[in-house]
Amino acid sequence: MSSEAQLVGSMRSFASAAAYLLVAFPVAAQTPPPGSVSKFDPPEIRALWVDAFHAGIRSPQEADELIAAARRAHLNTLFVQVRRRGDALYTKGVEPPLDDPAYDSSFDALAYIVDGAHREGLQVHAWVNAMPTWRDEAPPRDARHLFNRHGPAAAGEENWFTASPSGDHKFPVGYFVDPGHPAAAAYLVEIYLNIVRSYDVDGIHFDYIRYPETAERLPRGAGVGYNAVALERFRRNTGRTDMPAPGDEAWMAWRRAQVTSLVRRISIEAKAIKPHVKVSAAVIPWGVPPTNEKDFADVAPMQRVFQNWHEWMREGLIDLAVPMNYATETDARVRDWFNGWIRWEKRHKHGRQLAVGVGAYRNAPEATLAQIARIRTARGNDRDDRIDGVSLFSYAVPRLAPEIPATVAPGSPPQFPADANHLAFLVDGAGAAQGAFTRPAPVPSMPWIDRPSRGFIAGTVTAETPRAADAVEVRIKREGTWAEALASGFGLFRRTHLVRTDGNGYFGVTNLKPGRYRVWRDDLKKGPVRVRVEAGKVARADM
């Protein structure tokens, strides 16, 4: 439900140009001249999810309306959904176009919104749903669709879809590909990397980068991940022959590792293509929040959908986490969970950024503003102990007022009557609540991207068969002169990184200090591969 287009001259006024410069050069934005009164708020992520199930970027008119609405609301980041379920709202890819009467398949929506948003100082992250591929009973009409080529009807290794222990492929949220299937994982990698290569996006945005939730709630684990190829890989890599139970600890850890391996490869390879691209992810914070580091092992993302996003931040695989803290403000229990999660999130960023996802569709505008205010209060003063901003879900449905009945299809966002100014409350306020975004704000800088001090090593192990390249142990160690060793107290050279390849033979390591490294396999007589790591770059060590 986009607002009416306002193609007025003020959109390209001096204020708009200044806002663009502040977004492009955030460091300068933080230091106005002494004694001056800034027209801008301090740097803060003010993001908006723009889903492809409703008006957003399906036509030039929708995209223009979106940009105008975002500028009026003083937002600075758009997460625009360009892959919904195995389809595309862009033309430089391999997947069929979005099947929607409102979308012209020849229109490159991603290219259009990137160009238009950049002119107005807005950053754009391409929001890509990873695992979901279909939901309806009738199959997609396009024969090229992933569901038709590698869905439940495909035989043997051609079936890429995850399954329950009994072999069912459909879950409450539809059909998902299985990240434990090497061919499915390689396919998804290329979907993301193609966007990075082909479009001037500021970032790529993971969503549904996990296994599907199930109707059955078990004490531990979930009945997903039982694709035949994935299960065979687990057995081969662990030496087991049994059917693992949903709550089997080794089986749960293996499934988490499949999702993390996919994130790792996409993230590192995206940086290899464009070092300044941002990698963000919409992640799960369901239920009772953790209270400390260890508690995270037992919360819903780890137990139900095998999404270890806390580790992704620690490893530096994502630059920005956006936990979907969707909470109904009038529900006291859920409100307490919301408060608990944001307290935990601000203390566990591991040097990366975190923006709280606000479920604006669940609340009246006044309640949404109250949640934004609490998020800001929870920031703290230390850069590493604060929340960096918010993201609102969503552009189509920003509020839920009691007098407006929502129409909801199972699993879809509520839909409301059109409102040409439905984001105005963010600036103007609502009820007794003051507006949250009364002035523009630049996007905070990411020092590890803008001024990197660490680098990466990545490579692929090639073997006689694909299976022989799976789960291969690779060791990585820094080398140096005696002078360097003495200067560091030998600390830089003591640690050996042990990594294992994924189902496609890929491995990668982040957060490495610049210098010379050797990479080797204990099971080969050949000498090590030697590479030089440079800050902000990916060094190749194919074996």
Three-state helix/strand/coil letters over 304-371: CCCCCHHHHHHHCCCCEEEEEECCCCCCHHHHHHHHHHHHHHHHCCCCCEEEEEECHHHCCHHHHHHH
Please tell me whether residues 219 and 189 are part of one structural domain: yes
> What is the pLDDT averaged over residues 216-244?
97
pLDDT at res. 386:
86
pLDDT at res. 159:
98
Among residues 407, 433, 450, the one where a domain terminates is: 450
Please tell me whether residues 360 and 480 are part of one structural domain: no
Answer yes or no: is pLDDT of 303 > 90: yes
The answer to whether residue 3 is domain-embedded is no
Cα(71)–Cα(65) distance, integer angstroms: 10
Please tell me whether residues 338 and 374 are part of one structural domain: yes
CATH of the domain at 82: 3.20.20.80
- Residue 28 pLDDT grade (very low, low, confident, very high; cuts 50, 70, 90): very low
Amino acid code (one letter) for 35:
G
Please tell me whether residues 422 and 531 are part of one structural domain: no
Please tell me whether residues 203 and 238 are part of one structural domain: yes
The answer to whether residue 4 is domain-embedded is no
Please tell me whether residues 29 and 176 are part of one structural domain: yes
Among residues 434, 450, 466, the one where a domain terminates is: 450
Please tell me whether residues 439 and 515 are part of one structural domain: no
> What is the pLDDT averaged over residues 226-253?
98
Contact 356/391 with Cβ under 8 angstroms?
A: yes
CB atoms near residue 456 (< 10 Å):
24
Q: What are phi and psi of 317, to 5 degrees?
A: -80, -25
Among residues 426, 450, 474, the one where a domain terminates is: 450
Beta strands across the sheet bearing 132-134: 132-134, 174-176, 170-171
Helices (H) and strands (E) in the chain, counts: 15, 18
Contacts 24+ apart (CB under 8 A), 382-386: 384/349, 384/351, 385/346, 385/347, 386/346
Predicted TM-score (pTM) of this structure: 0.89
Helix (H) or strand (E) holding 498: strand 496-500
394 upstream amide cis, omega within 30 of 0: yes
What Cα–Cα distance (Å) separates residue 512 from each residue in 6, 321, 458, 485?
A: 48, 21, 11, 16
- Residue 179 pLDDT grade (very low, low, confident, very high; cuts 50, 70, 90): very high
The answer to whether residue 62 is domain-embedded is yes
Query: Which one has a higher pLDDT value, 138 or 26?
Result: 138
Please tell me whether residues 440 and 460 are part of one structural domain: no
pLDDT at res. 397:
74
> Residues of 487-496 as b/e, b for ≥16 C-beta within 10 angstroms?
eeeeeeeeee
The answer to whether residue 309 is domain-embedded is yes
The answer to whether residue 306 is domain-embedded is yes
pLDDT at res. 422:
86
The answer to whether residue 2 is domain-embedded is no
Answer yes or no: is pLDDT of 331 > 70: yes
Contacts 24+ apart (CB under 8 A), 17-24: 19/71, 19/120, 19/121, 19/440, 19/442, 20/119, 20/120, 20/121, 21/121, 22/121, 22/440, 22/442, 23/76, 23/121, 23/122, 23/123, 23/442, 23/443, 24/121
DSSP per residue, 446-481: -HHHHS---EEEEEE---SSGGGGTT-EEEEEEE--
DSSP conformational letter for 503: T
**Residue 62 CB contacts under 8 Å (≥ 6 apart), including other chains:** 2, 55, 56, 102
Please tell me whether residues 482 and 435 are part of one structural domain: no
Cα(176)–Cα(170) distance, integer angstroms: 8
Helix (H) or strand (E) holding 376: helix 365-377
Its sign, for the CA torsion 313, 189, 279, 133, is negative
Rg (CA), the chain: 24
pLDDT at res. 33:
53
Please tell me whether residues 484 and 358 are part of one structural domain: no
pLDDT tens-place string over residues 46-104? 999 999 999 999 999 999 999 999 999 999 999 999 999 999 999 999 999 999 999 99
- Residue 495 pLDDT grade (very low, low, confident, very high; cuts 50, 70, 90): confident
What is residue 400's three-state secondary structure? coil
Helix (H) or strand (E) holding 484: helix 482-487
The answer to whether residue 434 is domain-embedded is yes
Cα(267)–Cα(270) distance, integer angstroms: 5
DSSP conformational letter for 385: G
Please tell me whether residues 388 and 517 are part of one structural domain: no
Q: What is the mean pLDDT of the chain?
A: 89
Q: What are phi and psi of 209, to 5 degrees?
A: -90, 75
C-alpha closest to that of 54 among 117, 119, 116, 3 = 3
> What is the pLDDT averaged over residues 221-225?
98
Q: State the first-to-last Cα distance of the chain, in angstroms, to the nearest integer.
A: 52
Contact 126/199 with Cβ under 8 angstroms?
A: yes
Please tell me whether residues 229 and 301 are part of one structural domain: yes
Written as six digits, the tokens of 124 are 């754009």
What Cα–Cα distance (Å) separates residue 268 from each residue in 78, 94, 180, 193, 301?
A: 23, 22, 19, 10, 23
Cα(510)–Cα(77) distance, integer angstroms: 26
Number of domains in the chain: 2
pLDDT at res. 404:
42
Amino acid code (one letter) for 223:
G
Written as six digits, the tokens of 380 are 């703290």
What Cα–Cα distance (Å) separates residue 14 from each residue in 10, 17, 75, 110, 306?
A: 8, 5, 17, 27, 48
Domain membership of residue 300 as a residue range: 9-450
- 3-state SS of 129-185? ECCEEECCCCCCCCCCCHHHHHCCCCCHHHCCECCCCCCCCEECCEEEECCCCHHHH
H helices present in 40-80, as ranges? 60-72
Written as six digits, the tokens of 440 are 């523009």
The answer to whether residue 1 is domain-embedded is no
CATH of the domain at 463: 2.60.40.1120
Written as six digits, the tokens of 537 are 């770059």
pLDDT at res. 405:
45
